Amino acid sequence: MPSLTADEAGQLKMMQIVLVGLGAGAAAALLLASVVSGSIAAIFLFYLAPLPILIAALGWNHIAGLIAAAVATAAITVLSGTLLIAVPVIAFGSWWLGYCALLARPASNGGAGALEWYPPGRLVLWAAVIGTLIVAAAVPNFGTDQQSVQAALRKAYEGILRDQSLIDMLVVAVPPGAAVFSTVTNMFNLWLAARIVKISGRLRRPWPDLANLTLPAASSGLLAAAIAGSLAGPLRHTLRRVCGKSAHGLRNARPCSPACDHARIEQSRRRAGGRLCRHHRARLAALGAVASGPCRSRLQHSQSCCT
């Protein structure tokens, strides 16, 4: 059998990458679509949707992972009839993790051919960023405020769970913990995909020393920004309420002219059927002492109406 030429070998390899990407994308789409059944097992399969994309990216080529992400997004869009923003974030986020995991550069202190691989700590940071983006893209599908999101979650959980106390706990706990859970899920899928590819002998990257994993310095700044962002909404609401009450107090405490004060007392007199309490009658007398001209005549008329 004649050996393949370089061009034929390249074409065969590219065809293999495309076929792997198509198959992985179809598998990821099926896992994503399984959530519509509403069962516990389907939810578990849904969170494993990034796994085929990561296996394709780590085991063959990042192009295979990119094709898989595009196929999964297109398939879900066709099946649902609309573009769900969370789907491409999940799919292409998985591809990006696989792409970064295989990044390498020549080692500065190693021998010829030695490579310095992308740090695992940065992969963890990317998993957190992608997890946050997934939640940010998914939340508008449930509502635009806390009440609507919790109501939508309650309706979804009541379709698959019967324990009301568990539903109440999940409705409260899931929204703030969703990004954390998504980050952990991303890291688990990356670890599982790397293990599967390593067992098959296709993993080009040596297994990292996870015990000595260190996060990049930028993670502290991102954490501070995330905390500030989470407090921005409630803090802004509290400041608005405080400023509103302060403005209301200043508005009520400002000195009024006799005509303005007379108008308020006149409204009180009409609501009371033409009669005023002792406090308002004394106030009218005091205003009459400091008023002059047309204002004095109106005050005297009001006093005569109240007697």
Q: What is the pLDDT of residues 158-187, one digit of tens each?
A: 777 777 788 888 888 777 788 888 899 999
Question: Which residue has tokens 């921005």?
Answer: 232
Q: Residue 225: what pLDDT?
A: 79
At 30, which amino acid appears?
L
Tokens of 80: 């649902």
Sequence-separated (6 or more) residues with CB below 8 Å from residue 40: 160
Total-model pTM: 0.69
pLDDT of residue 191: 94
Residues of the chain where predicted confidence (pLDDT) is lower than 70 = 1-4, 6, 8, 10, 38, 110-112, 230-307
How high is the pLDDT of residue 272? 53
Could you give the angle at the alpha carbon of 285 between the alpha carbons of 280 and 286, nearest 5°? Answer: 95
Q: Strand (E) positions, 26-170?
A: 104-106, 115-117
CA atoms of 120 and 209, how far apart (whole Å): 9
pLDDT of residue 135: 85
| CA–CA separation, 218 and 116 (whole Å) | 20
Q: How long is the chain? A: 307
d(CA 39, CA 18): 33
Q: What is the pLDDT of residues 136-156, one digit of tens each?
A: 888 877 777 778 878 888 887
Q: What is the pLDDT of residue 72?
A: 93
Q: Provide the b/e sequence for 164-196 (b: ≥16 CB within 10 Å).
A: eeebeebbeeebeebbeebbebbbebbeebbeb
Task: Note whether 60 and 105 are within 8 A (CB).
Answer: no
